[in-house]
Amino acid sequence: MPSPIRILLQTTIPTIADDWNISRFSMLRDYLAGLAGEDGTPLCEVTARDRVAPGGPDPVLSTIDRSDFDELWLFAVDTGDGLDPEDCAAIGRFREKGRGLLVTRDHMDLGCSVCTLGGVGAAHFFHSSHLDPDPSRRVIDDRETSDILWPNYHSGANGDFQQVTVIDPPHPVLRDREAPDGLVRYLPAHPHEGAVDAPAGDPSARVIATGVSKVSGRQFNLAVAFEPSPADGPAIAESTFHHFTDYNWDLDKGCPSFVSELPGSALAHSTEAQASIRTYVRNLALWLAGRSPDPREGELDEALDESFPASDPPAFY
């Protein structure tokens, strides 16, 4: 029986009440903690925390490579000072040990401290640092909040959901056995998502899902996957942390006072979209831990091992 996947949900700000602190990801935390394996045992063991005050290394992030966590889900909600150099170095060593990393941010420069992360940081583009090399993609789609500059993709109102396009071949985190086409098709919407892309020259990375701006009709990238290798563990770069916040899953959970955009309510009325989002989150937890999101693959592997026992020790690819 495999041990629970140890997941750290981590923001890049201290515990500030009127901000995107870790308590605003409580539905994600509870959902992951409530997942169970086929034998009924907990699938995940979840820790959720904010960082200590900036200006020095965080005691957990700066030593995470020496921890027993299997995955780090990093919600970059800072304005530039969220990660210390020692934090970044330890996170890099964490992934070098084969552990999983999810890094997500938001519009403009929100979360730009992730630029200093090796590998996955290169997948994130901002307004004032690490600019998108394609000037045509430096766009402002959201017209409702005029002070938010590019990158800024409008996938819909908070409280609504967006339909995503899965890039072939479908990545394991985007498989959904319950959906008619076998694919995850929906994620929470947000008025101003950030910009991600596969870093040039990194053969392990590719865009796995795209969305469409409700304002301009422009296609934009939602997620980039980094396949595991002998040098690094699996990783995902996401266009916005609003795919995971309480407010975007349930408007009644509330939001910081600076959120001024008019919300929608479509997600609350779509059980299909809700199920799709939950499937995606479960898939992420499994894939980042090196496990297959589809239990049938494990069953097939066991059957093959019984039929064709290996004569040599297994190789690592």
Tell me the percentage of the chain whose pLDDT exceeds 90.
82
Q: Is the peptide bond before 169 cis (omega within 30 degrees of 0)?
A: yes
Q: For residue range 161-212, what is the model confidence (pLDDT) as tens digits?
A: 999 999 999 999 999 999 999 999 999 999 999 999 999 999 999 999 999 9
**Each residue of 56-67: b (16+ CB within 10 Å) or e?**
ebbebbbebbeb
Residue indicated by tokens 């394996």: 37
Tell me the percentage of the chain whose pLDDT exceeds 70.
92
CA distance to 1, 96, 295, per residue, from 37 (Å):
9, 27, 10
CA distance to 140, 193, 236, per residue, from 221 (Å):
15, 10, 12
Q: For residue range 9-59, what is the model confidence (pLDDT) as tens digits?
A: 999 999 999 999 999 999 999 999 999 988 899 999 999 999 999 999 999
> Structure pTM?
0.92
> Strand, helix or coil at 45?
strand
Q: Indicate if the pLDDT at residue 304 is higher than 80.
A: no
Q: Indicate if the pLDDT at residue 316 is higher than 50.
A: no
First to last CA, the chain: 24
Nearest-10 crossing angle of helices 26-34, 271-288 = 70
Q: What is the mean pLDDT of residues 268-287?
A: 98
Beta bridge partners of 75: 11, 104
